[in-house]
Structures are given as structure tokens and as C-alpha cells.
Amino acid sequence: MKINACIFDLDGVIVDTAKYHYLAWKALADKLGFEFTEVHNERLKGVSRMDSLEILLEVGGITHLSEEEKLKHAADKNELYVSFIKKMPADEILPNVREFLNDLRENGIKISLGSASKNAEMILEKLELMPLFDAIVDGRHISNAKPDPEVFLRGAQELGEAPENCVVFEDAQAGVQAAKNAGMACVGIGDAETLGLADFVMPGFEKFTFADLKAQLNK
Ligand code: BG6
Ligand code: MG
């Protein structure tokens, strides 16, 4: 395939924020009185804040909350999450991600963010990564959550590229599915068992270059 653009999920791909999302949701589950494990948490990855809350409540068997109570719980979770993020050291960027983004730019590849998070810009600014992105599509711009392809199709559109020339990097099942629904190639970041739909899966970006990406996708 001809690669013209790369679209990156944020949480769990660029930066190790997935653990802070988990800790903040777990604090809510503790408050509501049920156990919420990392296995349960896998279902929340890539999923919007309110949809994540619905999954968490389903895990806890909690069915009788008003819309107002749900909004309050989601706001509390976000407040706790943002407090973790504010304390996050700048080196929480995952290994070799900055170098890989620079390598893409040097090869003339366009770069977009494709994240469900409404906190995305704040995080990219904190990590001083904003200048490396040609477009930002995040939870504030989309109405259909992953696995709907909207977030990635919009990224391709903003970059002026056809979906078949775009590669998505994703750590979530819902995100890999969204990339495939968009007709894009997808690199899974994590383990192959969870992300089996991706074109190939790797644990992270360590030692990974644009040349490796081309080789993997054109095997
Ligand atoms: C995704 C995360 O990137 O963003 C989800 O994988 C999270 O876990 C979602 O729920 C929404 O994030 P936020 O920051 O808007 O609550
Ligand atoms: Mg993610």
C-alpha cells in the first residue's frame, strides 16, 4: 500500500494515560461498592466517557441512576483523572513515540490525532507534541464513538487523504474495529490476542521506524 498519512489514537498509544483512566474509574466503582478489574477495564478502552460509565455501571449491576447522577459521576471521574494528568511527568510519553513521529514527518507523512478523549489537546500540549500534528480530531469533534469510523474518516478528510492511504495506530479493540470500518490499515499496540483484527500488532514503538512500517504493511 501507499502510505500518505498516519492517524494516532492517544491514550495507550502516544502516552500511558490508560492506567490513569483505569484508576479514576476504579475509584468510582469503589465508591459505588463493587469490584472493577483491569479485565473489565479492557472494554472501556477507546470508548467515550459516558459510554464507559454505562459499561462500568453494567459491571456493577447498577441500573437505577438518574441522568443527573450519571453526569455527576462522569464529572467526578474526569476531575480525578485530570488531577492525575496534571501531575503526570512529561516523560510519560511512550518510548520512541516522539522519535517515530519525527521520522514520519521527515518522510513527508501527514499526521493526525484520532482520539475519543475530550482531554486530548491538554495532554498533547503538556507533552509539547502539538507541533508534530497536522490535524487533531478528538472527542469534542465527533458524535459517533469507536467502533464507528467517524473519528478516523474525519482525520483523513482533514489531511486531504483517501482512507486506503492511511494507517491507524490503536491500543483498543473498539479502535482497531473503527479503523477497519474506515477502510484503513491498522497497527495494534498491545497484544495480538486482544487486537487480532489489526494488520499487525506490536507491543510498542521501541526501535520502530517508518521503513519498518512500510515493510510490515507491504509483506
Ligand atoms: C479514550 C480512552 O481515548 O478516551 C477511554 O481510551 C476514555 O478510556 C475516552 O474513556 C474518553 O476520554 P475523556 O478524557 O474524554 O474522558
Ligand atoms: Mg487508546
pLDDT of residue 169: 98
DSSP string, the chain: ----EEEE--BTTTB--HHHHHHHHHHHHHHHT----HHHHHTTTT--HHHHHHHHHHHHT-----HHHHHHHHHHHHHHHHHHHHH--GGGBPTTHHHHHHHHHHTT-EEEEE-S-TTHHHHHHHTT-GGG-SEEE-TTT-SS-TTSTHHHHHHHHHHT--GGGEEEEESSHHHHHHHHHTT-EEEEES-TTTTTTSSEEES--TT--HHHHHHHHT-
Q: How far does the centroid of ligand 2 lie from the alpha carbon of residue 17, in Å? A: 9
CA angle, residues 15, 18, 19, in degrees to nearest 5:
110
User: Are 11 and 113 within one domain?
Assistant: yes
Tell me which residues are annotated as active site: 9, 11
Say yes or no: 176 and 165 in one domain: yes
The residue whose C-alpha atom lies closest to atom 16 belonging to ligand 1 is: 49
pLDDT for 91 equals: 81
- Residues touching ligand 1 (Cβ under 6 Å) are 10-11, 21, 44-49, 52, 78, 115-119, 139, 172
**Domain finish residue from 32, 61, 85:** 85
Q: What is the pLDDT of residue 92?
A: 85
Which atom of ligand 1 lies closest to the CA of 46? 6
Pairwise CA distance, residues 4 & 142, whole Å: 23
What is the extent of the structural domain holding 142?
5-15+91-217
Number of domains, the chain: 2
The answer on 195 and 209 residing in a single domain is yes
In the prediction, which pLDDT does 154 show? 98
Residue having the nearest C-alpha atom to atom 8 of ligand 1 = 45
Which atom of ligand 1 has the smallest separation from the CA of 9?
A: 3
Indicate whether 74 and 119 sit together in one domain: no
Which stretches of the chain drop beneath a pLDDT of 70? Answer: none
Pair 73, 99 in one domain: no
Q: Are residues 47 and 9 in the same domain?
A: no
Q: What is the pTM of this model?
A: 0.94
Nearest CA residue ID for atom 12, ligand 1: 117
Q: Are residues 145 and 202 in the same domain?
A: yes
Assign residue 98 the CATH number of its domain.
3.40.50.1000
Would you state the pLDDT for residue 168?
98
If asked whether residues 54 and 79 sit together in one domain, one would say yes
Residue 139's pLDDT is 94
- The reported pLDDT for the residue numbered 89 is 84
Extract the C-alpha cell encoding 136.
487533531
Mind listing the pLDDT tens digit for each residue in 176-211?
999 999 999 999 999 999 899 999 999 999 999 999
CA 172 / ligand 2 centre spacing (Å): 5
Q: In terms of domains, do 56 and 109 share one?
A: no
